[in-house]
């Protein structure tokens, strides 16, 4: 065993014996470019070929691993179908078996009488016959790696067989594992019971037992988490160290003034969130906080507090929301809260153009606007602030990392508060937003009742439409949500436009309105205000109402073609109702599935998002790349939650103690290279 230096690990795979340019290119398709990548090319499962079956004990139709000495070799064709067949007879002293290959006559020359062979495959119904899946000839110094033991199965690709990958990896491990630098500090490994990197590599690729393989996987999972967390810890520290944040000290008098603007008493959770924000704003470093709370938990008012605090201390503040309708709603809410105050507010959406926009931009740059509310239009290049002290991003999951950063860059290190209504599993939050402080609003405003969710099969439609009529008569309002705007797409789906016509006929005595994304902004605004004011009773809509919309009197929602939506999307949609004192009903039409059953069974956003993660996997949860969620090879977000917490604790403690990581040079260089040489992990 030679000790490999990090330079060896960084060499192209072509450097290895048996890898020419052609194979190197094909390995590249598997993400294996360097020698180190090969060591970190992990198996996705193992075949258990530990149990040797004596040849005399072979039972028909069973998977077996056998070993023996070749006594006869014969090739020919099968009797009926004339398929080429190779038969190699082996004996082990007590019994005999015939190893069989179909359509592989070329293998004949690989065997000599007297060779010692190990083979794994399936015993056929012909006594003593084994159809071979994998075999190898063993001899002095040649240990079987394919046909016996716990055999790793690797992701393979065209032109590179699993067998070749296995052989290459094994050779690389034998030669180089001893030289792979250890990224995890000894003390941490000791405390967490993690295998060292060399042993872990050996056990990952050639475990003696499943427990050994799992211990190795656990170590690498920890390593993946640890790298991400160490990166986040450093990012955090850089922010804290810069100290350039604008201190916003909220005096008791200001606190009182802000609270007196609020139309209701805050919940305990809202008060706690505000207390945290107040202390963040007063501390030196800029606030960097995530406010997480289920739909309808009342995040807006907490954001309002932060925004008004900033404005009250003579700075500017900005609020960005992902849709025009939501941004417009916020502008309205703030207009109401601030009625009669001296706060100068501006609204900048996609619909604000020309002269109006120019004037707004000029005013923001001149410091003549205190609070700017808008959509992603506020991050456009020419929008400049004189003195931006705080930014709030609502429904931040709808924005990309870059968009969020763009808003923050509009001020000299402004405080930032990002809000998410999609509660995500804690583990995911820790990897996605691990550099943020997290506040959870875990209490709903008083008087809320759980939304009653029903899946209604085909036949039940009429009855449910009648039920809704009854509720409309009682003064409630209803949303009807459809997946398409119109019928232009030739899919057999109901569209909002078509159903608008139909529902106008069904609910003749009520005002039915239509809302979709292709309408002009002014039109959307007036429809929304009709609905908000209770003058429209039924709102037929597309997914444009998904996030943020708040009309407490609307307590009914029909989601048609429910199979078209993801779990989180359904939960967001349902979050539009159950916002007032009325009993709310969410009615689903369409195809039923496990997803729909999960949705019907719970109102709990955290349970929903865990189920979503389980059913779809983290990559699907949102565009992985844009969300900044790293790809893990070994780590599993749900199952390894505990490990993630440990890694986070350890990484933050290490960075706190040793910000330059001088005690952990391997770790430091891995982070600086944006991952570990040899691993696919790229720390974002
Ligand atoms: P979300 O967390 O989904 O953004 P909102 O901020 O839109 O929730 O609040 C949902 C509804 O609850 C709004 O109608 C809001 O006015 C109301 N609300 C928020 N906090 C309280 C409270 N403490 N007491 C009563 N109603 C509240
Ligand atoms: Mg909201």
SS3 string, 655-668, reads HHHCCCCCCCHHHH
Q: Among the listed ranges 253-267, 394-408, 419-433, 512-526, which one has the minimum average pLDDT value?
A: 419-433
- For ligand 2, the distance from its centroid to the CA atom of residue 548, given in whole angstroms, is 4
User: Does ligand 1 lie within 6 Å of residue 267's CB atom?
Assistant: yes
Percentage of the chain modeled with pLDDT above 90: 51
Give dist(CA 517, CA 484) in Å, integer.
10
Reported confidence tier of residue 611, pLDDT bands at 50, 70, 90? confident
| Token pair belonging to 317 | 């503040």
Reported confidence tier of residue 623, pLDDT bands at 50, 70, 90? very low
Give dist(CA 266, CA 446) in Å, integer.
10
Does the pLDDT of residue 520 top 90, yes or no? no
Q: Are 85 and 76 in contact (CB under 8 A)?
A: yes
Q: Are 555 and 580 in contact (CB under 8 A)?
A: yes
Query: What is the reported pLDDT for 616?
Result: 74
- For ligand 2, the distance from its centroid to the CA atom of residue 392, given in whole angstroms, is 12
- Chain segment 214-262, per-residue pLDDT in tens: 999 999 999 999 998 998 888 888 777 766 668 899 999 999 999 999 9
pTM value surpassing 0.85: no
Reported confidence tier of residue 673, pLDDT bands at 50, 70, 90? confident
Does the pLDDT of residue 187 top 80, yes or no? yes
Query: What is the reported pLDDT for 206?
Result: 93
- Chain segment 107-129, per-residue pLDDT in tens: 889 999 999 999 999 999 888 88
User: Does ligand 1 lie within 6 Å of residue 552's CB atom?
Assistant: yes
User: Does ligand 1 lie within 6 Å of residue 571's CB atom?
Assistant: no
Query: What is the reported pLDDT for 627?
Result: 53
Torsion of CA 356, 357, 362, 368, to 10 degrees: 70
Query: What is the reported pLDDT for 629?
Result: 63
Query: What is the reported pLDDT for 674?
Result: 62
User: Does ligand 1 lie within 6 Å of residue 300's CB atom?
Assistant: yes
Please choose from 301, 304, 573 the residue to mutate so as to test ligand 1's pocket, defined by most ligand atoms within 8 A of CB: 301
Most confident of 469-473, 543-547, 641-645: 469-473
Query: What is the reported pLDDT for 147?
Result: 85
Query: What is the reported pLDDT for 359?
Result: 95
Average the pLDDT over 479-495 and give the result. 79
Average the pLDDT over 446-470 and give the result. 91
Percentage of the chain modeled with pLDDT above 70: 93
Give dist(CA 555, CA 540) in Å, integer.
14
Query: What is the reported pLDDT for 628?
Result: 56
Q: Return the DSSP state at 159.
A: T
- Chain segment 586-601, per-residue pLDDT in tens: 999 999 998 999 999 9
Does the pLDDT of residue 651 top 60, yes or no? yes
Reported confidence tier of residue 399, pLDDT bands at 50, 70, 90? confident
Strand 63-77 to strand 45-49: parallel, antiparallel, or no bridges (unpaired)?
Answer: unpaired
- For ligand 1, the distance from its centroid to the CA atom of residue 298, given in whole angstroms, is 3
Strand locations in 466-535, DSSP E?
Answer: 477-481, 512-515
User: Does ligand 1 lie within 6 Å of residue 400's CB atom?
Assistant: no
Average the pLDDT over 436-452 and give the result. 87
CB atoms within 10 A of CB 233: 22
Residue nearest to atom 17 of ligand 1 (CA): 298
More confident site: 380 or 139: 380
Among the bound ligands, name the one nearest to the CA of residue 293.
1
- For ligand 1, the distance from its centroid to the CA atom of residue 653, given in whole angstroms, is 37
- For ligand 2, the distance from its centroid to the CA atom of residue 377, given in whole angstroms, is 19
Reported confidence tier of residue 505, pLDDT bands at 50, 70, 90? very high
Q: Are 50 and 30 in contact (CB under 8 A)?
A: no
Q: Among the listed ranges 57-66, 68-77, 233-242, 411-420, which one has the minimum average pLDDT value?
A: 233-242
Ligand 1 atom nearest residue 552's Cα: 14
CA distances in angstroms from 63 to 78, 122, 129, 131, listed in the order given: 22, 4, 12, 9
Question: Strand, helix or coil at 250?
Answer: coil
Give dist(CA 521, CA 337) in Å, integer.
23
User: Does ligand 1 lie within 6 Å of residue 149's CB atom?
Assistant: no
Sign of CA dihedral 668, 673, 676, 681: positive
Does the pLDDT of residue 421 top 90, yes or no? no
- Rounded to 10 deg, the angle between the 567-574 and 594-601 helix axes is 30
Does the pLDDT of residue 553 top 60, yes or no? yes
CB atoms within 10 A of CB 530: 16
Among the bound ligands, name the one nearest to the CA of residue 397.
2
More confident site: 503 or 244: 503
Please choose from 445, 552, 584 the residue to mutate so as to test ligand 1's pocket, defined by most ligand atoms within 8 A of CB: 445
CB atoms within 10 A of CB 159: 12
Which residues, 6+ apart, have CB-to-CB distance to 669 below 8 Å?
Answer: 6
- For ligand 1, the distance from its centroid to the CA atom of residue 267, given in whole angstroms, is 10
- Rounded to 10 deg, the angle between the 299-312 and 268-282 helix axes is 30
Does the pLDDT of residue 644 top 80, yes or no? yes
Among the bound ligands, name the one nearest to the CA of residue 321.
2
User: Does ligand 1 lie within 6 Å of residue 297's CB atom?
Assistant: yes
Ligand 1 atom nearest residue 297's Cα: 2
- For ligand 2, the distance from its centroid to the CA atom of residue 295, given in whole angstroms, is 7
Query: What is the reported pLDDT for 5?
Result: 62
- For ligand 1, the distance from its centroid to the CA atom of residue 290, given in whole angstroms, is 18
CB atoms within 10 A of CB 489: 11
Among the bound ligands, name the one nearest to the CA of residue 291.
1
- For ligand 1, the distance from its centroid to the CA atom of residue 299, given in whole angstroms, is 7
User: Does ligand 1 lie within 6 Å of residue 301's CB atom?
Assistant: yes
Mean pLDDT value across the chain: 87
Strand 452-455 to strand 585-588: parallel, antiparallel, or no bridges (unpaired)?
Answer: parallel
Average the pLDDT over 18-36 and give the result. 87
- Chain segment 344-377, per-residue pLDDT in tens: 999 999 889 899 999 999 999 999 999 999 999 9
């Amino acid at each position: 065993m030679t000790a490999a230096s990090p330079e060896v690990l960084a060499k192209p795979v072509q450097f290895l014996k048996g890898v020419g340019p052609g194979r190197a290119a094909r390995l590249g398709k598997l993400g294996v470019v360097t020698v180190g990548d090969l060591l970190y090319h992990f198996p996705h499962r193992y075949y258990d070929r530990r149990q040797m079956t004596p040849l005399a004990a072979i039972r028909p139709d069973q998977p077996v691993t056998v070993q023996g000495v070749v006594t006869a070799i014969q090739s020919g064709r099968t009797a009926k179908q004339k398929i080429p067949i190779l038969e190699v007879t082996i004996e082990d002293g007590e019994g005999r078996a015939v190893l069989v290959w179909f359509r592989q006559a070329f293998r004949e020359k690989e065997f000599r009488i007297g060779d010692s062979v190990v083979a794994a495959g399936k015993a056929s119904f012909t006594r003593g016959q084994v159809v071979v899946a994998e075999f190898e000839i063993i001899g002095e110094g040649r240990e079987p790696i394919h046909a016996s033991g716990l055999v790793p199965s690797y992701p393979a690709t065209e032109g590179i067989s699993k067998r070749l990958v296995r052989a290459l990896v094994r050779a690389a491990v034998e030669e180089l594992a001893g030289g792979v630098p250890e990224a995890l500090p000894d003390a941490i490994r000791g405390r967490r019971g993690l295998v060292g990197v060399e042993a872990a590599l050996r056990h990952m690729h050639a475990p003696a037992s499943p427990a050994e393989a799992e211990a190795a996987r656990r170590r690498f999972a920890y390593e993946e988490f640890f790298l991400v967390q160490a990166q986040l810890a450093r990012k955090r520290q850089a922010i804290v160290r810069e100290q350039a944040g604008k201190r916003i000290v909220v005096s008791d008098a200001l606190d009182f003034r802000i609270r007196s603007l609020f139309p209701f008493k805050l919940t305990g959770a809202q008060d706690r969130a505000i207390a945290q924000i107040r202390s963040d704003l007063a501390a030196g470093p800029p606030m960097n906080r995530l406010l997480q709370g289920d739909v309808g938990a009342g995040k807006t008012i907490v954001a309002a507090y932060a925004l008004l605090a900033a404005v009250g201390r003579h700075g500017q503040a900005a609020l960005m929301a992902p849709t025009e309708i939501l941004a417009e709603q916020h502008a309205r809410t703030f207009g109401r809260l601030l009625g009669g105050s001296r706060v100068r507010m501006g609204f900048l959406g996609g619909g604000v153009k020309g002269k109006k926009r120019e004037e707004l931009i000029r005013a923001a740059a001149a410091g003549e606007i205190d609070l700017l509310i808008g959509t992603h239009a506020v991050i456009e290049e020419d929008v400049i602030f004189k003195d931006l002290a705080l930014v709030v991003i609502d429904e931040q999951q709808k924005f990309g990392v870059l968009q969020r950063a763009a808003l923050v860059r509009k001020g000299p290190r402004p405080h930032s508060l990002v809000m998410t209504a999609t509660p995500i599993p804690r583990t995911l939050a820790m990897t996605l937003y691990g550099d943020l402080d997290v506040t959870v609003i875990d209490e709903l405003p008083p008087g809320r009742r759980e939304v009653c969710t029903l899946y209604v099969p085909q036949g039940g439609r009429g009855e449910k439409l009648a039920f809704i009529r009854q509720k409309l008569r009682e003064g409630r309002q209803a949303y009807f949500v459809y997946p398409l705007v119109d019928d232009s797409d030739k899919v057999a789906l109901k569209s909002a436009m078509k159903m608008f016509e139909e529902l106008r006929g069904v609910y003749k005595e009520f005002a039915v309105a239509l809302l979709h994304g292709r309408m002009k902004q002014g039109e959307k605004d007036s429809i929304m205000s009709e609905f908000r004011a209770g003058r429209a009773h039924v709102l037929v809509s597309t997914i444009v109402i998904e996030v943020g919309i708040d009309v407490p009197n609307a307590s009914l929602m029909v989601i048609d073609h429910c199979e078209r939506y993801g779990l989180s999307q359904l939960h967001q949609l349902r979050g539009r109702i159950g916002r007032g004192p009325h009993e709310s009903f969410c009615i689903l039409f369409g195809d039923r599935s496990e997803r729909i059953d999960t949705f019907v069974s719970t109102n709990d956003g955290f349970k929903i998002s865990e189920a979503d993660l389980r059913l779809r996997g983290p990559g699907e949860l949102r565009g992985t790349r844009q969300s900044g969620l790293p790809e893990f090879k070994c780590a599993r977000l749900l199952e390894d939650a505990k490990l993630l917490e440990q890694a986070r604790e350890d990484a933050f403690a290490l960075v706190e103690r040793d910000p330059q990581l001088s005690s952990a040079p391997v770790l430091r260089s891995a982070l600086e290279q944006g991952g570990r040489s040899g691993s696919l992990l790229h720390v974002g």
